[in-house]
Amino acid sequence: MSDAHTGQPEAVNIAKEEEPDEKDLNDNQFILSSTAAVGPKSFVDFRRDYDHASPPPKYFDDEILLTQLPTTKKDIMKGLVEPEPHGGLICTD
């Protein structure tokens, strides 16, 4: 099938529209709230209504975000080995 105006194939929606049930929303470690539409650090309009199909995500806390990351090549590449032929990296850890 193609679009009559452009001659291009029609887009087929293969995504299944499905709202999460209460079991999925309650005690879910990745969902911030089952009542608030957006979190405190969101750019989304806080006045919008809560949508069960897209609950607000839980944000990383400052402890995780401010953790010092490795700065030396040896520490950054830990667990990676560089093979000879093409220079790609293989995870060995």
pTM above threshold 0.75: no
Mean pLDDT across 45-63: 85
Domain that holds residue 16: 1-67
Pick the more confident residue, 76 or 15: 76
Residue with tokens 């608030």: 36
Q: How many CB atoms lie within 10 A of CB 3?
A: 10
| Listed ranges 43-47, 60-64, 68-72, 81-85; the one with the highest mean pLDDT | 68-72
- 3-state SS class at 63: helix
Round to whole Å and give the CA distance between 47 and 54: 15
Does any domain span residue 22? yes
Does any domain span residue 10? yes
Does any domain span residue 78? no
pLDDT tens-digit series, residues 4-35? 666 666 766 665 666 677 777 777 888 888 88
Q: Are 55 and 33 in contact (CB under 8 A)?
A: yes
Does any domain span residue 49? yes
- pLDDT of 38 > 80? The answer is yes
Total domain count, the chain: 1
